[in-house]
Amino acid sequence: MANNTVVIALTGKGGVGKTSLCAAIVRLLTAKKPDSKILAIDADPAVGLLVSLGAKAPHTLDQIRKSVAEDVTGKLRDTQDILAEAKFKLMDAMEEQNGFCFLAIGRPEAAGCYCAINAYLKKVIEMVVDDFDYVVIDGEAGIEQINRRVLEKVTHLICVSDQSKKGLGIIGTIKEVADELVMYDDIGLIINRAPLPDKITESEIGGVKIVSVIPPDDSMTENDIEGKNIFELPENAGILKGTEEALKKLNIL
């Protein structure tokens, strides 16, 4: 990873609006950092970030992995050839759109997969990341996938929770797992869709500092119902204001 590449990974349990916040981060970066090269990575097999960003994904990483694996089984080739082909296909799949590039991971790996090819592709992704100023990763619930399949190091790890006691109660566990599995420079918590934001008086939860508390956002709900993407959301939407606050507290903006 390039020394000046900002890599932002979002983690948290399902159903807390993590993907919407990830899309909001991408929108804000494209607006605030128009001269920067931005890559959004959808590491969730459900491919929700693609919809939230209104992006296109002609080929997923899993499809690229399989195509390279099929080529390898047909004939002997050296590692550099495999890397070169995989990187070429990745770059071809990451066509710039609305000021950012997009890469979808695709479906989870099945048993009996080509582990060596996955290792090659992980290296290719690391090389691709060097070509960007900002990388935003929307992972599955939990953070192990971020470390195992995409990157070994991030600069900013953002935990996302709702206001429920159960949701907030696992933040400490997430941090413990993150401390073990992921190398990061800074970590913060966004409490999203909080119906009673005034009830939150703590400055940190589970050892993680709170960087933003976002109340339920009717404009975001309406946007989702109508099937619109994050770029169609009004500029004064609560989720955009709350996300910008978090990025400023994390010194990203």
pLDDT in tens, 8-48: 999 888 889 999 999 999 999 999 999 999 999 887 766 78
The side-by-side arrangement of strands in the sheet containing 156-161 is 101-104, 38-42, 134-138, 6-12, 156-161, 186-191, 208-213, 204-205
Mean pLDDT estimate for the chain: 84
Question: What's the pTM value of the predicted model, to 2 decimals?
Answer: 0.89
Distances from the Cα of 165 to the Cα of 52, 161, 195, 207, 246, angstroms: 27, 10, 13, 15, 21
- Give which of 1, 32, 18 is closest to 142, Cα–Cα: 18
87-101 CB burial, b ≥16 within 10 A, e <16: bebbeebbeeebbbb
pLDDT per residue as tens digits for the range 172-207: 988 988 888 788 999 999 999 999 999 999 999 999
Domains of the chain: 6-249 (3.40.50.300)
The answer to whether 109 touches 118, Cβ cutoff 8 Å, is: yes
Which residues, 6 or more positions from 91, have their beta carbon under 8 angstroms from its beta carbon? 128
What is the 3-class SS of 202-222, one letter each residue? Answer: CCEECCEEEEEECCCCHHHHH
pLDDT per residue as tens digits for the range 61-114: 777 777 776 665 555 456 667 667 777 778 777 878 889 999 887 765 555 454
The pLDDT of residue 21 is 97
